[in-house]
Amino acid sequence: MNCEVAHERIVTAAYGELADEQAHELERHLGGCPECVKEREQLLALKLLMDAHPAAEPEANLIARARMRLEEALDALPPWRWYERLGQRMMNGFASLQAAPVAACLLLLAGVGAGSLGEYKLAGNRAAHTMAARVQAQPAPAAGVAVPAEIASISSIVRQPNSHMVEVRYNQLVPQRLEGSLDDPAIRQLLMLASQNSASTGVRDDSVGLMAAECKAGHSCKAAGIRDALMVALRYDKNDGVRKKALEGLEPYVAEDMRVRDAVLEALMNDSDPRIRTAAINILEPVEGDTSVRQVLHSVANTDRNPYIRTVSRQVLDSVPEIQ
């Protein structure tokens, strides 16, 4: 498999639409291609951010007002003089004779780009107004309400003692607060955003800890959402404690989700903290008979610089029967 085909399958796999046979071929390719591994990691990070900012349909009234303003702006333009109009017509006619196909393509691309940009801005404005009204009203948030895209940062996360309620404080144009259950989609989206907060280790630690606890408790932890956020934290977070919590949250899915298994194997091979690497070996216990897991364990047992990690890897290999 070449890298071009791998890139196509990486996208398909990210949305759970890749056949099992093709998924195994892709994993074999990724095992020897660091560039494609980086491509997959970047796609997962982008998908995580996209999931945290769901697109909203613009209101019909907003579109109508935008069109009216455009028409008013066009009407306000000063009229061209007769010789300016004549010169423009002559230039247009000459250009159309020589570059009609090129002009048509450019106009098509410009129209598609302008339309996409307009739709994105309208959707963002509508989401911001929706969340502003919701925060001012102060009742518990309804399920399905989107978090606005204009969030500057997450400032704090507090879970009420002996309760399923979480308060998330975040900064927009002015500091805001949102209170709701851990099952609330808006709260979950804020937690996912908080896990990427580079300015505050404490906020990242709180958000990843809460998401990991939800996954370990067997609550909703779908691949396209919290599970992806935990894999990103495990791979890229600079704080050892945050990575350890992310690893613990992924433990229930190591047997059923190949992407989780790959993330844990990467932690075993590359993490800078020996405690996390040791925990990764223990988490891989349900799938220690898997070929890719055995290969990594063999490599670690023979070449790793840490003698304790080498010893633990050899013990695991000795306890697992050879694949028939």
pLDDT exceeds cutoff 90 at 293: no
Mean predicted lDDT score pLDDT of the chain = 76
Is residue 192 included in any domain, yes or no?
A: no
22 and 48 assigned to the same domain: yes
pLDDT exceeds cutoff 50 at 100: no
Average pLDDT of span 68-76: 74
Q: Which of 29-38, 48-57, 105-114, 144-153 is predicted with the least confidence, judged by mean pLDDT? A: 105-114
80 and 119 assigned to the same domain: yes
Domain edge (last residue) among 133, 152, 168: 133
95 and 74 assigned to the same domain: yes
Looking at residue 53, its pLDDT comes to 61
Looking at residue 248, its pLDDT comes to 92
Q: Residue 57 — very low, low, confident or very high, per pLDDT cuts 50/70/90?
A: low
Between 221 and 309, residue with greater pLDDT: 309
The domain in which residue 26 lies consists of 3-52
Is residue 323 included in any domain, yes or no?
A: yes
Is residue 94 included in any domain, yes or no?
A: yes
76 and 31 assigned to the same domain: no
Looking at residue 244, its pLDDT comes to 93
Is residue 145 included in any domain, yes or no?
A: no
Torsion over CA of 291, 292, 294 and 297, rounded to 10 degrees?
180
Looking at residue 276, its pLDDT comes to 92
CA distance 71 to 68: 5
Domain edge (last residue) among 133, 153, 188: 133
pLDDT exceeds cutoff 80 at 34: yes
Provide the percentage of residues in the chain whose pLDDT is more than 90.
Answer: 9
Q: What's at 46, amino acid-wise?
A: L
CA distance 319 to 174: 58
Q: Which of 79-83, 102-106, 189-193, 239-243 is predicted with the least confidence, judged by mean pLDDT? A: 102-106
78 and 42 assigned to the same domain: no
DSSP output for 94-120:
HHHHHHHHHHHHHHHHHHHHHHHHHHH
Is residue 177 included in any domain, yes or no?
A: no
Looking at residue 84, its pLDDT comes to 67
Number of domains in the chain: 3
Average pLDDT of span 36-40: 86
Domain edge (last residue) among 133, 151, 172: 133
100 and 34 assigned to the same domain: no
pLDDT exceeds cutoff 90 at 91: no
Q: ∠ at Cα 140 (178, 212), nearest 5°?
A: 60
Give tens-digit pLDDT for 107-149. Answer: 545 554 545 445 444 444 544 444 444 434 444 444 445 555 5
Give tens-digit pLDDT for 202-253. Answer: 888 999 999 999 888 887 787 668 888 899 999 888 899 999 999 999 999 9
316 and 270 assigned to the same domain: yes
Is residue 242 included in any domain, yes or no?
A: no
Q: Which of 4-18, 69-83, 285-299 is predicted with the least confidence, judged by mean pLDDT? A: 69-83
Q: Long-range contacts: 286-294, Cβ < 8 Å, 24+?
A: 286/254, 286/255, 287/254, 287/255, 287/261, 288/316, 288/319, 288/320, 289/320, 289/321, 289/323, 290/261, 291/323, 292/27, 292/31, 292/261, 292/262, 292/265, 293/261, 293/265, 294/320, 294/323
Looking at residue 195, its pLDDT comes to 85
Looking at residue 148, its pLDDT comes to 55
Is residue 275 included in any domain, yes or no?
A: yes
Q: Which of 14-28, 56-70, 201-215, 230-244 is predicted with the least confidence, judged by mean pLDDT? A: 56-70
pLDDT exceeds cutoff 50 at 255: yes
Q: Please state the pTM of the whole predicted model.
A: 0.52
48 and 87 assigned to the same domain: no
Average pLDDT of span 26-55: 78
44 and 71 assigned to the same domain: no
Q: Which of 199, 212, 213 is nearest to 156 (CA)?
A: 199
Is residue 124 included in any domain, yes or no?
A: yes
